[in-house]
Amino acid sequence: MKKNKKYIIGGAIIGVAIIILAYLGLKSSLTYYYEVAELVAKGSSVYDKTVKVGGEVLPGIEKNVSLAEIKFQIVDINDTTTTINVDYHGSQVPDTFKEAAHVIVEGKYTSQGIFEATAIITKCSSKYIPATVTGVTK
């Protein structure tokens, strides 16, 4: 009995230790997330740091196929006066990326006021419910 308990308690201690280690390691894997207005308010303190920014895509997406580049603007979801320009270079554009989509862009905000995105993640209001639903039920 005692021996089993020893192993279980020993194991539990090791397990907890690993999880604490993981917690400490977590810090290096964190990316800060801001709304558009928060990012703009932060100003120069966030320049050239990798962050994620959430907002809504405004009409006027410019796609340049020969440069494999997409330029668009995102607006803060609550504060519709604050917008930022996003430049995305790459080819991993989610299917649900379109005007009025809620997106999270990951990349760096530069002192020129342009967000150089390395990834676009679309945030559907739900995986299961298409956006058009709200129009139908109301």
Partner 1 sequence: MIASLGFILLVIALLVSIFAIVAYLLGIRQKNASLMYSGRTGVLTSFILVTISFAVLTIALLTHHFEISYVAQHTSLSLPTPYLVSALWAGNEGSLFFWCWVVAFCSALVVLQARKGERELVNYAAVILSALTGFFLVLLVFVVNPFKTQSIVPADGAGLNPLLQNPAMIIHPPLLLAGYAIFAVPFAFGISALITRRLDDLWVGKARSWAILGWLALGMGNLIGAWWAYVELGWGGYWAWDPVENAGLMPWLVATAFLHSVIMQRRRGMFKVLTMFLVILTFWLTIFGTFLTRSNLLNSVHTFGVTGIEPYFIALLVVIIICGIWLLSNRSKQLSGKNQIESMISRDGSFLLNNLLLVVSAGIIFLGTMFPAFARWFGQPDVTVDKSFFNMFNTPIFIVSVLLTGICIVIGWKKFNLKDFYRRAFIPLIASAVIVVLMFLVGFKTWYALIAYFFCFFAILSTLWQWVGDLSWRKIVTEEEKAPEIKGTKFWASKNRYGAYIVHVAIALISVGIIGSSLFDKDQTATLKPGESTTISKYKLTYNTLDVTSPSANNTVIIANISVMKNGVSIGKLHPQQTYYSGQDQTVSEVAIRTNLSDDLYVILSGWDNTTQEVNLHVLVNPLVMWLWIGSGVLLLGGLVCFWPQPLETMNLPAALKPKPENRAKKLPEPVQKQKSKKTKYLSGRRK
Which residues of this protein are in contact with partner 1, per CB under 8 A? Answer: 1-4, 7-8, 11, 14-15, 18-19, 22-23, 25-26, 29-34, 52, 54, 63, 65-68, 70, 90-96, 98, 104, 121-133, 135-137
CA proximity to 70, closest of 97, 43, 58, 88: 88
Between 26 and 81, name the residue whose CB sits nearer to partner 1.
26
Q: What distance in Å separates the CA atoms of residue 132 and residue 111, rounded to the nearest whole number? A: 37
Between 14 and 47, name the residue whose CB sits nearer to partner 1.
14
- Whole-number minimum distance, CB 99 to partner 1, in Å? 8
Q: What distance in Å separates the CA atoms of residue 21 and residue 15, rounded to the nearest whole number? A: 10
Between 112 and 132, name the residue whose CB sits nearer to partner 1.
132
Pairing of strands 83-89, 114-122: parallel
